[in-house]
Amino acid sequence: MIPISKPPIAATGGRRQLWLVGAVAIGITCLVAALLHFLAHFYMLNQAEKSVKSLLLAQRGFHRYIQEVMHPTFYKLKGEGQVTEAFYAPEILSSSFIVRNQHAKYNEERKTAGLDEIYYKMAAFNPRNPVNQATPLEADLIRRFNADRSLKEYREELLIDGRDYLFVAIPFLDNQKKCMKCHGKRQDAPPGLQRLYPGEGGFNEKLGDIRAIESIRIPLQQHYSALHIVLAAVLVGMLSLATLLFLNTRLRNLVTDRTRDLEMEVAERRRMEEEVRAVNQTLEERVDKRTSQLAVANRELDAFAYSVSHDLRAPLRGIDGFTLALLEDYGDKLDETGRDYISRVRGGCRRMGDLIDDMLKLSRLSRGELRLHEVDLSAMAAEIVEELRRAEPARQVAVEVTPGVRVRGDGVLLRAVLENLLSNAWKFTAGTASPAILVGTRLDGDRQVYFVQDNGAGFDMAYADKLFGAFQRLHTEQEFAGNGIGLATVQRIIHRHGGTVWAEGVMGKGATFSFTL
């Protein structure tokens, strides 16, 4: 395919269009971000002011309760003589004392709840308690409120120790006539109050003056954190939108070019599909033909297996029969060596017969339909072990079968698998002092593995690849009986179930045969 290049002028115009779209998108993003920052900052301050007003209303209500309920009650009791004339306790009489300590407890609760403390102070020029002494800023505000009675509130954003605060100050205490009893001349104050406060703090106030303000600082850090999160989210969103607009223009150009290329590719693919369709048709015909040939070959194999079985068994039966007759009729005329030779011949005939039977069984395992159903491997293994115990009651073998192991498979074939594996384990533990066999299951990644483990003769892993071959043996006939067909049978059955089988062993320490289904 020969690529078609675009004219240089068109390419330059496309790049200019992309840059223009990107610049406009970024400009809009910055304007929107600035507007949102202003609105969010305004909202943040509004929320902080609401917090201030809520606190002020709560404190004002507390002051009113003290002055309108507690004080009249106290003076009534005093007038009735239940309280001495000299008694004075700030804990129940001083509203500033009570509110200050109440606010301290309030801040402790905020701190426990993980919130920033709120600064609240009834600041005065000449307080009785030094903790209420006005700071230079607060003192200046008291003078300003006294100078301009129309001024009802002062508000400012402050930076203190690297943190932002909203500072609000409000006139609080006007020296009314009833206040002068405790805040006028010292000698006119209650004796108890004079004893409690020996200095001039809180005395000699002037009637009509504003002697104290409520000073509040609300930390803005938490509000700023929320503001920054919102702004960051909006900015990221707008930048993402700008990027998408930029890429969209670029993609349109790419899509146009790619569409032209794809049209050519589609035409080429259609031609190739026609060729593949023709090849598939040819392959289907070949498969059908090969399937027919395999069906014929299987029938011929069955016939051959029957013929081999029949033709080999006949001479074997003749050899075995004549050697038996020779032993019965002329056994007394033969010496011990002669009778041993005849016994060996008859044993060879029996082994040959067994080999023929096993060979026929192995050939039949590859044919026939699997009858799948749920199989209880645990119960099946227990039955096979019981049969082995009845066959050799003198042997004491510790066998453990994991209960509840169920699989889906052909019950007859899976029984053959367990019979072969358990018979081998039983056989190869014959020379072990404390023979033990374990039938169990385990998880290997996402697959279930079933195994038969013994502590018998074991084998050299160097020869593991020979274990599952037909008529392959790692031990002599004198060591362990057998014809080498059992594990080949196991492998063929497991493969028919779509699984795998493998073995692990150590010479003299036993072996483990594992399989999946």
* Residue among 257, 339, 276, 359 nearest 1 (CA): 257
pTM, to two decimals: 0.40
pLDDT attached to residue 92? 74
pLDDT attached to residue 110? 82
Q: Which long-range contacts (CB under 8 A, 24 or more apart) does 148-156 make?
A: 155/49
Q: What's the CA gap between 217 and 167, in Å, rounded?
A: 5
Q: Six-digit token pair at 246?
A: 């930029």
Q: What's the CA gap between 241 and 232, in Å, rounded?
A: 14
pLDDT attached to residue 6? 45
Q: Which residues contact 119 (CB under 8 A, 6 or more apart)?
A: 165, 215, 216, 217
CB 127 within 8 A of CB 133: yes
pLDDT attached to residue 3? 43
Q: Which residues contact 201 (CB under 8 A, 6 or more apart)?
A: 126, 127, 128, 129, 130
Please, what sign has the CA dihedral across residues 26, 29, 31, 33?
A: negative
Q: Count the neighbouring beta carbons within 10 Å of the beta carbon of residue 394.
A: 5
pLDDT along the chain (517 residues), means of 10: 43 58 69 69 71 76 79 82 76 76 83 83 83 87 89 83 82 78 80 78 81 82 61 72 74 83 89 90 86 71 65 76 83 84 84 71 64 93 93 91 94 90 90 92 92 90 76 54 73 90 90 94
Residue 498: CA count within 13 A, CB half-sphere: 7
pLDDT attached to residue 325? 85
